[in-house]
Structure 1
Amino acid sequence: MLGRLIVLLGDDYRLNLRRAPDVRRACHEAYGPPSAPMAVSLTELLGVIGAHQWRTKGVRVPALDARVHPHYGVFSPVRAEYVDLVAHAPLPPPADCRAGRRIAFDLGTGTGVLAAVLARRGIDHIVATDISPRALDCARENVRRLHLTGRIHVVGPGLFPDGRADLVVCNPPWIPARPTSALEQGVYDPGSGMLNSFLTGLTAHLEPGGEGWLVLSDLAEHLGLRTRGELLAGIEAAGLRVVDRMDARPRHPRARDVTDPLHAARAAEATSLWRLASR
């Protein structure tokens, strides 16, 4: 019902309603500078306000002992399990053992949270990429906040940067379907495009002895949108092998919400870190 309610924003994003909150800053962050009056659904506006609150207050990430500030349309690191997997998986040795210097790529960096975790784990240089200009701005802001500009270089838009790395990390959107709004772009990956691009391009960007870490929920499997066999076939077709897999159960409240229509799938969900290497 809320999605059917439409509100009119003035040419300065002001809501001309009695007792209406001031949404101008939130709308500016989501839509850019105002130019003309615009109509949006109430559901959309509530999402914009929520995104502004997250951006202002930040989300505490225990693995960093710090807060990360997501922008509108950038996936928020509220699910600690995927961050914890990257914080605890064994690191591959550096290609140049004499120098002892590790290089990592973080593909689809979003807020930059995984790049920051890798830096805190001692990775010497991380190149973080994203196809979204919003995400690139968000990651750069968080890298500055965390005082990691000397270790993390945010580049894009694109998926793979130039060169090779000892470790390539990718946490693609989990659901192979098309998003209906900017707020869903961190969850939906139409046709598994980003997942497949990561797998097919990984070997060409790994140093000898390097690893690719695919961090992926199996929610799509429980919803019948992708099978485990299809994922394994994609890994094999890309000339990769599975070194190991680490799993984490969901800890977010929706996994325990029995009124959620997707409760059965969410309760069975696991997030996995697949350690991949060239065959």
Structure 2
Amino acid sequence: MTTQATLHWTENGEERSADWRSEAGMPPPKRVVIADDTTSADTAYRLACEGTAMLWRGDFQNARQLLQALARRADKPKKAPKAGKAPLVKPTPTEAFHLHRQAQSQRARTLAMLLLPFDADHLVPLRRAPDTREACLEAYGEADAPYVASMRELLGLIGAHEWRKKGVEIPALGDRIHPYYGVFSPVRGEYIDLVAKAQLPAGAASLAFDIGTGTGVLAALLAQRGVKRVIATDQDPRALACASDNIRRLGMDDQVEVTEADLFPAGRAPLVVCNPPWVPARPNSPIERAVYDPDSQMLKGFLAGLAEHLEPKGEGWLLLSDLAEHLGLRTREALLGWIEEGGLKVLGRLEVKPHHPKAADQTDALHAARSAEVTSLWRLAIR
């Protein structure tokens, strides 16, 4: 999963190099300078904006504070137009989305310019550095040589490690799901609640497919609701490992089978469930693939293949937010067209308004779309 290349820099007049790691898929920076506790935030921000990376040799906690200072500068609102100048034209929802994504990408590149050295055992050889071995091992696997990675990425690894240990409380399940680094965490519970409330179709107690299982949360929920056998599929190795671990923790090994597949397993089922990425846009990093799906490829693939894997009187449950429609990235007509082209019909739809914090955040760049967003469980059947 990790992009590995070689980072080159000059230190104390000597040419040096080390393995480069980036879960975000970023190439190693071409320009690298040495930075330490004497480096000011303004200097660091200027260098980062210019594309010059800083390999840190000072105190770890000071580096963490410097990263926070860089983030504050990156997030500083732009100045309003001066009096007399024509006001800026308000962008369309689609334009606002692309500007937001562009700003996110630029911010990520800027903050990734603060680099840390790592020993081959994943420890950071800096004063006051925490024990990073377990968090790095979970994301990177074994290392056979020292390497360099960004501090921002390390903090993400540490945060994911804590979530993996603690788990995410799933009220509908009455238990916790433990997400792995790089696997979409079920922190938005509205789609889970829809699956918990929807009436199971006739025959679903015998078998169900969970397509793109991720953490395995929906497969576990179906098993808890009495489905005797659930086949959960995914292509991502981390998702397969994560789902298998969660199913084992929940004691559902006898009911749930986690298997690698491109969307569907072999055969047909009375119930087929899928929660594809909701936004048809290019991900900025591999980690974003659970949210962003270029040209709605997974959604189209599910709708095109569902009829071949559904029992004649079975149901396909498509869990989908309409955020893309409010952003002008997909139309309702297009979605209905793909359903019809797949030889399917709509039996009904359950809806819920999202309750995540961004839906009520009026300062968010996409607030208008988020505040109108609805998540639906589409009940589909063969025409």
Corresponding residue of 1:62 = 171
Q: 1:38 to 1:263 in 2, by over 3 A?
A: farther
Corresponding residue of 2:299 = 195
After superposition, give the CA deviation of every residue in 1:154-177 in whole Å (9 maximum; x if it has no partner): 000431000100000000011112
Higher CA-based Rg = 2
Decide which moves more: 266-275 or 8-17.
Answer: 8-17
- Give the counterpart letter for 1:209 in structure 2: K
d(CA) in 2 for partners of 1:249, 1:78: 15
Number of aligned residues: 274
Give the Å deviation of 1:208.
1.5
- TM-score, normalization: structure 2? 0.69
**Kept after mapping to 2: 8 A contact 1:74/1:185:** no
d(CA) in 2 for partners of 1:217, 1:47: 26
Corresponding residue of 1:204 = 308
> Aligned pair 1:77/2:181, yes or no?
no
d(CA) in 2 for partners of 1:175, 1:41: 27
**Root mean square deviation of aligned Cα:** 1.3
**Kept after mapping to 2: 8 A contact 1:8/1:38:** yes
**Kept after mapping to 2: 8 A contact 1:73/1:185:** no
Give the Å deviation of 1:106.
0.1
Corresponding residue of 2:277 = 173
Give the Å deviation of 1:7.
2.1
d(CA) in 2 for partners of 1:227, 1:82: 21
Corresponding residue of 2:136 = 27
> Which structure 1 residue ranges, 5 or more long, are not aligned?
96-100
- Give the counterpart letter for 2:132 in structure 1: V
Decide which moves more: 80-89 or 39-48.
Answer: 39-48
- Give the counterpart letter for 1:142 in structure 2: N
Partner SS for 2:290: coil
d(CA) in 2 for partners of 1:265, 1:37: 45
> Aligned pair 1:36/2:136, yes or no?
no
Partner SS for 2:244: helix
Corresponding residue of 2:265 = 161
Corresponding residue of 1:111 = 215
d(CA) in 2 for partners of 1:8, 1:249: 45
1:88-107 equivalence runs, <5 A: 88-94=197-203, 101-107=205-211
d(CA) in 2 for partners of 1:18, 1:172: 44
d(CA) in 2 for partners of 1:152, 1:246: 25
d(CA) in 2 for partners of 1:204, 1:157: 15
d(CA) in 1 for partners of 2:219, 2:368: 32
Partner SS for 1:179: coil
Higher relative contact order, chain-length normalized (CA < 8 Å, sep 6+): 1
- Give the counterpart letter for 2:265 in structure 1: P
d(CA) in 1 for partners of 2:244, 2:342: 31
d(CA) in 2 for partners of 1:27, 1:5: 17
- Give the counterpart letter for 1:2 in structure 2: L
d(CA) in 2 for partners of 1:215, 1:142: 21
Give the Å deviation of 1:34.
1.3
- Give the counterpart letter for 1:194 in structure 2: M
Partner SS for 1:111: coil
Corresponding residue of 1:98 = none
Corresponding residue of 1:183 = 287
**Kept after mapping to 2: 8 A contact 1:136/1:157:** no
d(CA) in 2 for partners of 1:53, 1:194: 30
d(CA) in 2 for partners of 1:175, 1:23: 33
Q: 1:48 to 1:227 in 2, by over 3 A?
A: same
Q: 1:5 to 1:157 in 2, by over 3 A?
A: farther
